[in-house]
Amino acid sequence: MHKLITAVGEVIQKQGYSGLNISNISKKAGVDRKLVYTYFGSLDNLIETYIRQKDYWNTKAKEVIERLSEDPQCIDADEMSSLLQGQFEAVIEDKSLQKFIHWEIGEKNEILRRLADSREETGERLLRHLDPYFNKKHVDLRAMLALQVGGLYYLALHAASNGSTFCGIDITQTQGKERIKKALDILIHDVFEKADLITDKH
């Protein structure tokens, strides 16, 4: 099972999502193709298993959000900034994850739709605790986060695809990446400050 799951990542990095078929994956894994059905039931289930293990919002972020949901008073600007910076790092560092994000953006697919819905459900667990504070101050946290999350995805994918700078910033270099993370932190703290979240919560 581990060999097959690992092979999915290797195939998509070298051949793209068009190369994700049972023949290529089983060959890369060095196992009989029948094991795909034995362990996963179908190729789609195997691919979905791989993506779920790599998807930041369905793994690391989900664990953090579950912890915060148990004690909503702990949800603050620092925690939110840390979550988004973690997403940024995950996409920059993981070549196979970049391929799947490209796939999700460029093509309608049931697997990717389910994963996107799962991602939304994870985020909803956090946002529903914050909505009352931000809505009371007429601050649209969801829209602001959508722009920031989308921007981080684009910056990471742009750098991975052609390695060029964006607004003169090269995020493939440590200095450039840290500039983006610092700007993100400032934006998150500014929006929390606009909602007077700390004051309202205490």
pLDDT attached to residue 201: 42
Tens-digit pLDDT profile for residues 174-197: 999 999 999 999 999 999 999 887
Reference 197, options 121, 149, 146, 127; nearest CA is 127
Percent of the chain exceeding pLDDT 90 equals 69
Taking the C-alpha atoms of residue 132 and residue 141, their distance in angstroms, rounded to an integer, is 11
pLDDT attached to residue 195: 87
Q: How confident is the model at residue 202 (pLDDT cuts 50, 70, 90)?
A: very low
Taking the C-alpha atoms of residue 169 and residue 33, their distance in angstroms, rounded to an integer, is 45
Residues 6+ apart with CB under 8 A from 186: none
Could you tell me which residues are beta bridge partners of residue 169? 166
Q: Is 108 a residue whose pLDDT tops 50?
A: yes
Tens-digit pLDDT profile for residues 55-86: 898 888 989 999 998 888 888 999 999 999 99
SS3 content of the chain, % helix, strand, coil (to 5): 80, 0, 15
Looking at every residue in the chain, the average pLDDT score rounds to 91
Per DSSP, the residues of 43-105 read HHHHHHHHHHHH-GGGTHHHHHHHHHHHSGGG--HHHHHHHHHHHHHHHHH-HHHHHHHHHHH
Residue 166 DSSP SS3: strand
